[in-house]
């Protein structure tokens, strides 16, 4: 892949625009004005998403890595229901604790997430953007400048700002944007829209609700799952009883999750409907830390196989006070998104969930979910451990290590990672340098001209190759325009049938990133592409 980075500052806008223009991602319900936090994956977006999903499934379920003990890892797949018994969410803690702190503007009623306040202000507030321009990003904050701003521009853009109603401002002693905003708002955080005071934070549950049954009553209330994980815990015993797996083993699933996110933003990064790829690994409590270390390292390696550069990924350990209610330890794999750079943002979390979930479901359902570990019993006996201890230690509730990532977030990462903008590049300045394995279309097949027997040969090649790869046949427009269109959507190879094909049975194969061309004989094409795509 080419190493040339995108050159412009507003990369994110360009990526969003390319995604719309070329059919990767559309705003959901666009003809009705859109619905915040919901996205549709277009003809190319769904191919890209499916390619990532299939690679995850291949590497987690069908071909998981060899375990830290050198043994084959047992792994099975699952597709559980999106809607589960409401008690599921009581047991998991979601009805009680899956909430974000919210603040409401006392004047205009706008609601925002309290813990993201400064971030939201910086990216979404018009009056704040104007204040930053006026004060040179908070460095020019003498009283005259501020009073002038308050009396003129702020009157229109932030009419409910405290300083607008009583135009006296004590500028901060040193350049400090937060102190500046506090100085203009009587020491408070003002509304990002009108500048009015925000109320105290209140907890807001993120689960989306629906009703299963004809009547919309409390008994029929159900939740759209906020994570795929709980379906796996509910089926843990079914899997044990109906397959040949033994602890340690994993259950993996990919599917939709729903969260009533207060501030869905940054394109598909945080949406209200999204897809997750989660795996719950059930292991003996004594081995949990070993598996936790193992999966965090394996998951990082996996992201590298997507073609993500190592310098754009990093681990971030959760501090004790940041851990979810179920977690004993969590580490995030973070990516340097264009909208977080030079900082990083979450991509995947690997959590040590202890025995929290199975214990909770055992208590709430009344079903026994413990496990008798015969191998451990034999091992302890052989080690001469006293009988009472052998008995106690070989029956346990397994611990769980959970690598949980977002599939839709992975799509975003691949788009950001592969986006290139090269000034003066032939055909198109923008293209996607996606690793061939994940490219939505693997090859474009073109007759050089739409006559002289070339379309017939190209169509024949297309019909043959599409048995093995996603290909596109395109006989129209100039060849340069067709190459450019394929570059823009990340197609790694373009195959052109020309005059020499008719005599020599060879075609040109053009490579996207280098734009170099080579001649390949038609009967070797499939092998040629297979080698390139699988490498
Ligand atoms: N079962 C654990 C769990 O769900 P999480 O950190 O809340 O953990 C896991 O979610 C992953 O799901 C995140 O790392 C992220 O990639 C993705 N994700 C979470 N919320 C999301 C949202 N609103 N939009 C898109 N992806 C999201």
Residue 406 CA, ligand 1 centroid: distance in Å: 6
Task: Please state, for a pLDDT cut of 90, what percent of the chain lies above it.
Answer: 90
pLDDT at position 171 is 83
Run of H or E residues at 44: helix 43-57
In sequence order, the 6+-apart residues with CB closer than 8 A to the CB of 184 are: 131, 146, 150, 154, 161, 162, 163, 169, 190, 195
pLDDT at residue 100, rounded to an integer: 86
Q: DSSP letter for 105, please.
A: B
**Cis bond leading into 489, ω under 30°?**
no
Q: What atom of ligand 1 comes closest to residue 270's alpha carbon?
A: 24
In this prediction, residues 69-96 reach a mean pLDDT of 96
Q: Residues, the chain, total?
A: 535
Cβ atoms of residues 279 and 60 within 8 Å: yes
Separation between Cα atoms, residue 121 and residue 110, nearest integer Å: 13
- pLDDT at 86 exceeding the cut of 50: yes
Closest C-alpha residue for ligand 1 atom 4: 227
Could you tell me which of 509, 466, 134, 65 has the C-alpha nearest to residue 281? 65
The token duo for 138 is 């908070």
Q: How far is the CA of 225 from the centre of ligand 1 (A)?
A: 12
Q: Return d(Cα 112, Cα 263) in angstroms, integer.
A: 7
Q: Supply the pLDDT for residue 518.
A: 97
Higher pLDDT, 6 or 300: 300
Q: Which segments of 238-312 are extended strands (E)? A: 249-258, 273-283
Task: Kindly state the percentage of the chain with pLDDT values over 70.
Answer: 98
Handedness of CA 387, 388, 389, 395 (dihedral sign): positive
Task: Give, for ligand 1, the residue of 94, 99, 276 to mutate: max count of ligand atoms closer than 8 Å to Cβ.
Answer: 276
| Gap from CA of 258 to ligand 1 centroid (Å) | 10
What is the pLDDT averaged over residues 410-417? 98
- Residue 21's contacts (CB-CB under 8 Å, 6 or more residues apart) are none
Average pLDDT over residues 375-400: 96
Of residues 326 and 143, more confidence is placed in 143
Beta strands 443-447; 39-41: pairing state: unpaired
pLDDT at 474: 97
Can you tell me the distance from the alpha carbon of 341 to that of 419, in angstroms, rounded to the nearest whole number? 15
Distance 408 CA to ligand 1 centre (A): 10
- Ligand 1 pocket, mutate which of 78, 82, 254, 346 (most atoms under 8 A from CB): 346
| pLDDT-based confidence at residue 30 (cuts at 50, 70, 90) | very high
Distance of CA 252 to the CA centre of its chain: 17
Q: What is the pLDDT of residue 82?
A: 98
For residue 250, the CA-to-ligand 1 centroid distance in Å is 19
Phi, psi of 309 (to 5 degrees): -70, 140
**What pLDDT is attached to residue 487?**
98
- What residues flank ligand 1, with Cβ below 6 Å? 227, 229, 259, 261, 270-271, 274, 276, 278, 346-349, 402, 404-406, 408-409
Residue 282 burial by CB count (10 A; 0-12/13-18/19+): exposed, middle or buried? buried
Mean pLDDT of the 77-99 span: 95
Return the ligand 1 atom nearest residue 404 CA.
Answer: 9
Provide the pLDDT for residue 227: 98
Which of 98, 274, 356 for mutating ligand 1's site (highest number of atoms within 8 Å of CB)?
A: 274
CA 213–ligand 1 middle distance (angstroms): 29
Residue closest by Cα to atom 17 of ligand 1: 406
Report which protein residue has its CA nearest ligand 1's atom 20.
Answer: 270
Ligand 1 atom 16, closest CA: 406
Residue owning tokens 């795929």 = 228
pLDDT band at residue 325 using 50, 70 and 90 as cut-offs: confident
Query: pLDDT tens, 445-464?
Result: 999 999 999 999 999 999 99
Q: At what angle do helices 374-382 and 387-394 cross, to 10 degrees?
A: 150
Distance of CA 481 to the CA centre of its chain: 32
Residue 1 confidence (pLDDT) above 70: no
Residue with CA closest to ligand 1 atom 19: 406
| pLDDT band with cut points at 50, 70 and 90 for residue 319 | very high
Mean pLDDT of the chain: 95
How close is the Cα of 23 to the center of ligand 1, in Å? 25
CA 136 vs. chain centroid, Å, equals 35
Q: Report the C-alpha dihedral over residues 508, 512, 513, 515, rounded to 10 degrees.
A: 40
Q: Which helix (H) or strand (E) holds 86?
A: none
Tell which atom from ligand 1 comes closest to the C-alpha of 229.
1
Closest-CA residue, ligand 1 atom 21, reads: 270
Over range 198-209, report the average pLDDT: 93
pLDDT band at 98 (very low <50, low <70, confident <90, very high): confident
Radius of gyration of the chain (CA): 28
Q: Is the pLDDT of residue 4 over 70?
A: no
**CA 370 / ligand 1 centre spacing (Å):** 28
At 6, is the pLDDT very low, low, confident or very high (cuts 50, 70, 90)? very low
Q: Tell how far the Cα of 276 is from the centroid of ligand 1, in angstroms.
A: 7
CA–CA distance, 126 with 500 (Å, rounded to integer): 60
pLDDT at 187: 92
460 to each of 358, 440, 521, 528, how far by Cα in Å?
56, 21, 14, 17
Residue 7 pLDDT > 90? no
Residues 245-268, mean pLDDT to the nearest whole number: 95
Distance CA 232, CA 152 (A): 58
Among 429, 409, 418, residue whose Cα is nearest residue 490: 418
pLDDT bracket for residue 386 (50, 70, 90): very high
Q: Which two tokens stand for residue 484?
A: 């450019």
Residue 323 confidence (pLDDT): 87
Q: Report the pLDDT averaged over residues 483-497.
A: 98
From 52, 404, 405, 413, the mutation candidate for ligand 1 (largest count of ligand atoms within 8 A of CB) is 404
Q: How far is CA 87 from the centre of its chain?
A: 28
Other beta carbons within 10 Å of 280: 28
Better pLDDT: 324 or 132: 132
Q: What are phi and psi of 315, to 5 degrees?
A: -90, 145
Segment 408-418 mean pLDDT: 98
Query: Residue 246 pLDDT more than 60?
Result: yes
């Amino acid at each position: 892949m080419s190493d040339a980075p995108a050159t412009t500052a507003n990369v994110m806008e360009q990526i969003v625009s390319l995604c719309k223009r070329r059919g990767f991602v559309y705003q959901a319900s666009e003809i009705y004005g859109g619905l915040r936090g919901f996205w549709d994956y277009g003809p190319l977006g769904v191919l890209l998403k499916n390619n990532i999903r299939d690679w995850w499934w291949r590497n987690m379920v069908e071909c998981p890595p060899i375990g830290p003990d050198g043994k084959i890892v047992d792994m099975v797949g699952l597709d559980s229901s999106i809607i589960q018994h409401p008690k599921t969410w009581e047991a998991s803690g979601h009805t009680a604790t899956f909430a974000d702190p919210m603040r409401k503007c006392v004047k205009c009623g706008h609601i925002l997430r309290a813990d993201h306040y400064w971030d939201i202000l910086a990216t979404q507030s018009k009056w704040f953007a104007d204040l930053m321009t006026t004060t040179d990003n908070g460095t020019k904050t003498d009283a005259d400048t501020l009073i002038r701003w308050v009396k003129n521009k702020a009157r229109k853009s932030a009419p409910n700002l405290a300083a607008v109603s009583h135009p006296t401002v004590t500028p901060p002693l040193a350049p400090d944007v937060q102190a500046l905003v506090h100085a203009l708002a009587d020491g408070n955080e003002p509304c990002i829209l009108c500048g009015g005071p925000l109320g105290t934070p209140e907890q807001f549950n993120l689960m989306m609700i629906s009703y299963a049954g004809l009547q919309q009553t409390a008994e029929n209330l159900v939740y759209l799952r906020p994570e795929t994980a709980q379906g796996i815990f509910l089926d843990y015993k079914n899997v044990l009883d109906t397959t040949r797996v033994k602890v340690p083993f994993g259950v993996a699933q990919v599917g939709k999750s729903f969260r009533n996110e207060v501030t869905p933003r940054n394109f598909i990064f945080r949406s209200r409907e999204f897809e997750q790829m989660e795996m719950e690994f059930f292991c003996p409590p004594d081995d949990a830390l070993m598996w936790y270390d193992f999966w965090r390292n394996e998951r990082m390696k996996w992201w590298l196989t997507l073609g993500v550069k190592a310098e754009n990924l990093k681990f971030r350990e959760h501090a004790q006070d940041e851990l979810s209610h179920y977690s004993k330890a969590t580490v995030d794999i973070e990516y340097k998104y264009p909208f977080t750079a030079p900082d990083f943002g979450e991509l995947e979390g690997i959590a040590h969930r202890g025995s929290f979930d199975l214990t909770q479901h055992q208590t709430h359902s009344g079903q026994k979910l413990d496990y008798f570990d015969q191998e451990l019993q034999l091992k302890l006996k052989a080690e001469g451990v006293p009988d009472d201890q052998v008995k106690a230690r070989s029956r346990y509730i397994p611990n769980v290590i959970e690598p949980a990532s977002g599939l839709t977030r992975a799509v975003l990462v691949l788009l950001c990672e592969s986006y290139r903008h090269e000034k003066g590049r032939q055909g198109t300045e923008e293209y996607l340098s996606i690793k061939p394995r994940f490219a939505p279309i693997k090859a474009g097949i073109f007759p050089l001209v739409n006559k002289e027997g070339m379309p017939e040969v190209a169509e024949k090649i297309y019909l043959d190759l599409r048995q093995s790869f996603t290909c596109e046949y395109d006989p129209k427009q100039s060849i340069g325009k067709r190459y450019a269109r394929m570059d823009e959507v990340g197609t790694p190879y373009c195959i052109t049938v020309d005059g020499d094909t008719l005599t020599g049975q060879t075609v040109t194969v053009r490579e996207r990133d280098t734009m170099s061309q080579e001649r390949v004989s038609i009967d070797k094409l499939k092998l040629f592409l297979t080698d390139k795509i699988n490498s």
